Amino acid sequence: MTSLRPLGSSDLDVFPLALGGNVFGWTADEAQSFAVLDAYTAAGGNFLDSADSYSSW
């Protein structure tokens, strides 16, 4: 799963799996957050979702 895909009709190409990062700095401390981000980018990831609104529903 390393090939990038176009994001809609934009000129952006993104990793096919978005990483949800709303826990960074809250339930995941700085060291854990950096470890997850480093692993994700090492795998080719470049598509982050940092929205914090989902838990408000």
- Judged against a pLDDT cut of 90, whether residue 41 lies above it is answered with yes
**Residues 32, 36, 38, CA angle at the centre, nearest 5°?**
115
CB-CB contact of 16 with 8 (8 Å) = no
Phi-psi region of 50 (alpha: psi -120 to 50; beta: other; left: phi over 0): alpha
pLDDT in tens, 2-19: 699 999 999 999 999 999
pLDDT for res 57? 58
pLDDT for res 51? 84
pLDDT in tens, 17-29: 999 988 888 889 9
pTM: 0.80
- Judged against a pLDDT cut of 70, whether residue 55 lies above it is answered with no
Rounded Cα gap, residues 19 and 40, in angstroms: 8
